[in-house]
Amino acid sequence: MAGRDRARGHDLAALRGLNTAVVLRALRQESPQTVGRLTGSTGLSRPTVEALVEELAARGWIAETTTPPAVRSPGRPARRFRFRAEAGHVVGVDIGLKKLVLLLARLDGAIVARHREEFPADLTGAERIELLRTRLRAFLADQRLGPHDVWSVGIGVPGMVDDTGRIRSVIVPDWTDLDLAARLRGELPCPVLVENDVNLATLAEHWQGAAALADDVACVLVGRRISCGVMIGGRLHRGRRGGAGELGILPQLGLNAAGDALGWDGAPLPGESETDALARAVRAEDPKALAVLDRYLAGVAPGIAALVLALDPELLVLSGALAPVGDPLGPLLAAHLSPLTLHVPRIAVSTLGREGVALGAVRRALDEVDSHLLDGAGPSRRS
């Protein structure tokens, strides 16, 4: 943007490529579609769309459907084409201190396989990597997918990740300064994209969650630790060192202090965490639990207010360990924010559950595929 980028002109071939992409995207957004419908949505003439569709089919991106249409209409039946979402797959990974989530998705984002497991929090860095590699290998083998069937992998990790994909925080033991993508390069020949977990949760909320209709979003992970993801203009904002939204550090705002002082001692169910137990008690309208939650929210309110004042977002999404509390969370937090901000944004609670980060990793991987759409020769036609 600093004026050094000179725009280059376009020739006929570029025009053709542009229109090809337009048709493919239209078809991906809604499948199947007739040529006539594509004509309407793209603004191109029928012979043109026909030619493009023919080319896309030959390259394996789309296919003609043989199933009859739902509603029968008079006249010659239109040929119907669909985006071949099964032509490739992407993987979304969420690997934290003690859990691993794997999602396998088709090119249209439909999840076709999932895996979740917990593991001891005291694994070494090398052991974690090895765990990820073996599980990933087995996961793909289960689905009878070879290395070339996966086009892109997104990985969410706790803590800051800089713009080269290198991990910049000390949350996971031995992973500081690790280039995780490079370590997996041997496993898979496709792009591997490492990203901060909150950022991916934000992407997921914008894709399928509470933030689907907003483009300026702050997503706050509320739990023992607090961190935030920032989306501006529909695009993730990472910051220079990947540290955007890391307000927890500032002692004046008391974010981490509030988390440490959560202090809910209600009896947890077997395998239930403190935050889960608290959320359950609040849902059961236990007044003591409500008081604990309220005190906690009062503690984190200044930090969230700072984020709100800095960004003035359209929407604030609450996610993380306390999201199971559900709807009451919004008004409770809003009451504490109100005296601290000019304007309390709309607040929504995440409904994506424990797969939010992995879902965001899928979205990230799909974005990568999207940015190189039509670059190569097209998918193979095996399936």
Partner DNA sequence: CCGCGATACGCAGGACTTCTGCGAAATTAT
Partner DNA sequence: ATAATTTCGCAGAAGTCCTGCGTATCGCGG
Interface positions with a second copy (CB under 8 A): 1-3, 6-12, 14-15, 18-19, 21-23, 25-26, 29, 41-44, 48, 160, 206, 212-213, 215-216, 228, 230, 232-235, 237-247, 249-253, 302, 305-307, 309-314, 340-343, 345
Which partner from the list a second copy, DNA, none does 176 bind, CB cut-off 5 to 8 Å by kind?
Answer: none
Number of H helices, E strands in the chain: 11, 13
**In sequence order, what E strands does 284-331 have?**
315-319
Q: Please return the burial class of 43, using the count of CB atoms within 10 Å of its CB with bins 0-12, 13-18 and 19+.
A: exposed
Token digits of residue 27: 């078809």
The least CB distance from residue 106 to DNA, in Å, is: 25
Query: Is there binding between residue 69 and DNA (CB under 7 A)?
Result: no
Pairing of strands 315-319, 217-221: parallel
Q: Closest by alpha carbon to 219, among 211, 209, 227, 229?
A: 229
Neighbours of 201 (CB within 10 A): 31
Q: Which stretch binds DNA (CB under 7 A): 48-56, 159-167, 303-311, 335-343?
A: 48-56
Q: Which does 238 bind (CB under 5 to 8 A by kind): DNA, a second copy, none?
A: a second copy
Choosing from 3, 9, 186, 331, the residue that interacts with DNA (CB under 7 A) is 9
In the complex, the smallest distance separating the C-beta of residue 21 from a second copy, rounded to whole angstroms, is: 8
* Closer residue to a second copy in complex, CB, 253/357: 253
| CB closer to a second copy out of 140 and 315 | 315
Q: What letter would DSSP give residue 25?
A: H
Amino acid letter at 365? Answer: A
Asked if 257 interacts with DNA (CB under 7 A), we say: no
Least Å from the CB of residue 214 to a second copy: 8
Residue with tokens 């071949």: 84
Q: Does 36 participate in binding DNA (rule CB under 7 A)? A: yes
The 3-class SS string of 39-83 reads: HHHHCCCHHHHHHHHHHHHHCCCEEECCCCCCCCCCCCCCCEEEE
**Cα 199–297–210 angle (5° rounding)?**
40
> Which is nearer to a second copy, 254 or 328 (by Cβ)?
254
Distance CA 366, CA 151 (A): 9
Query: Is 244 exposed, middle or buried (CB count within 10 Å of its CB: 0-12, 13-18, 19+)?
Result: buried
Choose from DNA, a second copy, none: what does 147 bind? Cβ within 5-8 Å by kind. none
Closest CA to 305 of 220, 375, 225: 220
Closest approach, Cβ 368 to a second copy, in A, equals: 17
Smallest distance, a second copy to C-beta of residue 206, A: 8
Count of residues binding DNA (CB under 7 A)?
27
Q: Does residue 374 touch DNA according to CB under 7 A?
A: no
Can you tell me which of 21, 57, 78, 181 binds DNA, judged by CB under 7 A? 78
Residue 74, interface with DNA (CB under 7 A)?
yes
d(C-alpha 174, C-alpha 125), whole Å: 5
* Of positions 30, 79, 241, 381, contacts DNA by CB under 7 A: 79
- Which of 311, 317 has the CB closer to a second copy? 311
Residues 31, 34, 65, 341: which binds DNA (CB under 7 A)? 34
Least distance in angstroms from the C-beta of 183 to a second copy:
25
| Residue among 27 and 365 whose Cβ is closer to DNA | 27
Distance CA 15, CA 28 (A): 20
- 57 lies in the site for DNA, by CB under 7 A: no
Q: Using CA atoms, how far apart are residues 269 and 176, in angstroms rounded to an integer?
A: 35
Specify the residue, 80 or 238, whose C-beta has the smaller distance to a second copy: 238
Residues that bind DNA (CB under 7 A): 9, 11-13, 15-16, 19, 34-36, 43-48, 50-52, 72-79
